[in-house]
Structures are given as C-alpha cells and as structure tokens.
Structure 1
C-alpha cells in the first residue's frame, strides 16, 4: 500500500498512541519514541505529528529523514514508512515542533493469524485543563498543515 486506508486515516485522528522510529543522530542505531499528537491527512498521503521543541527526535530527523510510524489500530499493526520534514514551530503554552511524513508505504506487520481486539490506551497524568489546552493548540496547528501542505 502506498497510502493510508480510510480506516487508518480515521484511526490516526486524535490522540492515537504511535511509535516513532528514527535513526539516532549520535550512533546511527534505531531510536524509538512514543508520540500521541498525530493527525492523518484526509488523502492518506501524509501524516502530521508534533513533539516538544527539545525532543531528541528533532536532531535525528534533521540528520536522517527516514522514519517509521508504528500504529496499532484498525484491527492490526502497521508500519508506515516515509520521509519526514520539519514544518513549523509554535510557542504557545509550550514550544512544539510539527512535522509531516510523506507516506511511501503502509505495511500490515501483524503476525500470521493475529488480530488486534483491544487497542492500547493511555492516560495523561498532568493537569486535565492543561492537557486539554495543549491538545487544542497542537491539533489546531496540525490541522493547519492539512490545509497548507500537500504531499510531494
């Protein structure tokens, strides 16, 4: 698959726990981060995400733009491979950096005979009002990327 299915697009809209795999800028080893500020482009050709402005993945991406987004959803486990580029930084409640991934391939990586029956859930452990404010600001920024940027 070269783009996201409609079911994956829906799965990636708002608060999904996603694994971001980059290449460590210091030692060229794989680097795994968990992210949740993720939004798929309605065309399925891009995925946008945000991280805090001091996140180690920023340096990794600057050195090597090849990434994998690991997603458990839509009944299976997927590896979304692509090239990522920095889009904008925002300084609102906290400083964040947004990115867009041009989707090159989507692979179902679930083991043979397996099916996801319950998706992972998480809970934000800081102030509820702050979490809601951050989420609103960041998803507004990510939604703006859907309007401003198209896949190359």
Structure 2
C-alpha cells in the first residue's frame, strides 16, 4: 500500500485490527485546539469502513470528540506505518457488562495513508503487556471486547 491512499481497510489492516494492538490516536483538545495524543489497545475493526474503540468514560478523548469529531489513528502493521483518519461518534459512555465506566466510540474511516518513510519497513511491531492482575486483565478485556462488538445494544 506504499504511497497509496485508501478509503477502507485493506485485508491485512482489517486482520491486524482483530487482535490486541497498541495504537495511538490523535484528537483535537477541546480547550486548547491543539492535537492530543492517546495510547490505547481496545480497538477493533467492525468492517472495512468502521472501527470501534473503548476508553474510560472520563478520558479527555470523550469530551474532545464531542467538541470536534475529527480523529486520526496511527497503526503499525503490515510492515508499515498507517494514518487512519475518520470521524468519531460516542456510541455510549457506559458500556453494558463492563465493571469500569467505559465509553464506546465508533470511527467512520475517511482516509488511510501509508506514512512510512521511503525505503523502509517495520520489522518488529511494538508489544505491550498489562501490569495488573493477569486474570483480572483477561476478564476485563473479554468484557470490553464484547461491549465493542455489541456497541450500544442493551
């Protein structure tokens, strides 16, 4: 996909967004108007045009999106770096079945750019691990991922 612009997730990116993955997201800070960067791992592609993320309901990202829905996601996958631009919408600020106040945000993809610098490729993607109780982390992940799948259904 080098130097191409897409309006949908190509298969390798769709697949990459079906598993636990560290991404950074930029929103516009509601007070300063400056870019605000957030790191998250609760992200899934619903289809080629739609992503869902989960964040704590008190995250500044929630208020930023209410003020200005423009978002950009930085994704390292498929041996490259991608900027996924889109419009965010708060689906719910209290996801059902999740013990922590969790907001679900849906992103309608408007553009995907391969932003890797010329003549290079990613040879090792970043990994992360949860640093709190492993069983509690796995349980919470399952609950949040189920909420992402359902959205605002309940």
- How would you bin the TM-score normalised by the shorter chain? over 0.9
Gaps of 5+ in 2: 1-5
Structure 2 distance, partners of 1:45, 1:90, is 22
Whether 1:53 and 2:57 are equivalent positions in the alignment is yes
Question: What's 1:102 paired with?
Answer: 108
Whether the aligned pair in 2 keeps the contact of 1:14 and 1:37 (CA below 8 Å) is no
Aligned length: 146
1:90, CA displacement in angstroms?
Answer: 1.6
Aligned equivalent of 1:66, options 64, 70, 88: 70
Query: 2:12, 2:81 → 1: CA distance?
Result: 13
1:31 equivalent in alignment to 2:36: yes
Q: Is the partner of 1:142 in helix, strand or coil?
A: helix
Match of 1:18 in 2: 23
Q: Which residue of 1 aligns with 2:3?
A: none
Tell me by how many angstroms 1:107 deviates. 0.3
Q: Kindly state the Cα deviation for residue 131 of structure 1 after the two structures are TM-superposed.
A: 0.5
Q: State the TM-score, normalizing by the size of structure 2.
A: 0.91
Q: Is the Cα contact below 8 Å between 1:72 and 1:119 reproduced in 2?
A: yes
Secondary structure at the counterpart of residue 90 of structure 1 = coil
Q: Paired residue for 2:147?
A: 141
Task: Tell me the equivalent position of 1:90.
Answer: 95
RMSD over equivalenced CA pairs, Å: 1.4
